[in-house]
Chain A
Amino acid sequence: NAGVTQTPKFRVLKTGQSMTLLCAQDMNHEYMYWYRQDPGMGLRLIHYSVGEGTTAKGEVPDGYNVSRLKKQNFLLGLESAAPSQTSVYFCASSYGKGPYNEQFFGPGTRLTVL
C-alpha cells in the first residue's frame, strides 16, 4: 500500500496562476484533510471531507477550493495564487472521526508563489 500520496512534491507559481494539488489514499479512509504548514505556526486546516462528494471549510479556507469526486482522491485548488499561499501543504486521511482515529499524512507539497 502506498498510503497517502501527494502530487506534485514541489511547485513554483507566479502570482495569479492557478494549480491543483492532488491527494490520493489507498486505505479506504472516509475522512480526508488539507493542511498548510508555515514557519512558527502549527499545521492549520484548510478544508476537509467526511466522505465522497462532501467538503467543508476548515480554519483558513479563503483562496482555496476542494473537491472529493472519488473516495480515494481529494483535490486542493488555487484559482489565483498569491504570495501569502507560499507554504508546505499536507494532505491527511483517517478512517473515522473518533479521538483515536489516527490521521495518516502525505509527504507534503512545497509551493512557492512569486
Chain B
Amino acid sequence: KNEVEQSPQNLTAQEGEFITINCSYSVGISALHWLQQHPGGGIVSLFMLSSGKKKHGRLIATINIQEKHSSLHITASHPRDSAVYICAVRAPYGGATNKLIFGTGTLLAVQP
C-alpha cells in the first residue's frame, strides 16, 4: 500500500463546478504539499500546510492531522485548471533530508 494515496485518480468536470481532490497518508508528517503539473510542463508548488486551511485565489487546501487526510478544493473551475494535482508529505523533523513522499497524482480535466 502506498504511503500517500490520492482519489480520484481521474476527474472530469464541467467549467464552473466545485472540485475536490483527496489525499490520505499513513505516515507521520511535518507538512503536506500540494503541487500542480501541467501537461508537458514542470511542477509547481501550490500549498504547504501542517494544520487548518489555506486559500489562494480559487484554490483551498485543508488538512486534518488526526485523520491523516487533506483535501484540495477548486471553486468555479476553469479549463485552465486542467492538470495533474499531486499530494506530497514531508517526513517529520530530524530527517537528514528534505524528503518528500509523493502520491501518484489526480488528473483533472475541466471541460468548457
A interface residues with partner B (beta carbon < 8 Å):
31, 33, 40-45, 48, 50, 56, 58, 90, 92, 94, 96-108
| CA A49 to CA B33, docked complex, whole Å | 21
> Is there a chain A Cβ closer than 8 Å to B100's Cβ?
yes
Q: How many residues of B contact A (CB 8 A)?
A: 28
Chain A interface: which of B13-21, B37-45, B63-71, B75-83?
Answer: B37-45
Beta-carbon contact of A100 and B98 below 8 Å: no
Q: Which residues of B contact A (CB under 8 A)?
A: 2, 4, 30-31, 33, 35, 41-45, 48, 50, 86, 88, 90, 93, 95-105
Question: How distant is A59 from chain B, measured CB to nearest CB, in Å?
Answer: 9
Q: A112: shortest Cβ distance to chain B, in Å? A: 15
Q: Are A43 and B42 in contact (CB under 8 A)?
A: no
Instruction: Tell me whether B41 and A107 are in contact (CB under 8 A).
Output: yes
Interface of A is mostly: loop
27 A-B contact pairs sorted by A residue (CB < 8 Å): A31-B97, A40-B104, A41-B104, A42-B2, A42-B86, A42-B104, A42-B105, A43-B86, A43-B88, A45-B100, A48-B97, A48-B99, A50-B96, A56-B96, A58-B99, A97-B95, A97-B97, A97-B98, A100-B31, A100-B48, A101-B98, A103-B33, A105-B44, A107-B41, A107-B42, A108-B42, A108-B43
Bound-complex Cα distance A100 to B49 (A): 8
Nearest residue (CB) in B for A108 is: B42
Q: Are B97's CB and A56's CB within 8 A? A: yes
Closest to B87 in A: A42
Cross-chain contact B90 with A99 (CB below 8 angstroms): yes
CB-based contact B98/A94 at 8 Å: yes
Distance to closest chain A CB from B106 (angstroms): 12
Having A97-B97, A103-B100, one finds 4 other A-B pairs with CB under 8 Å, namely A50-B96, A102-B48, A103-B98, A108-B42
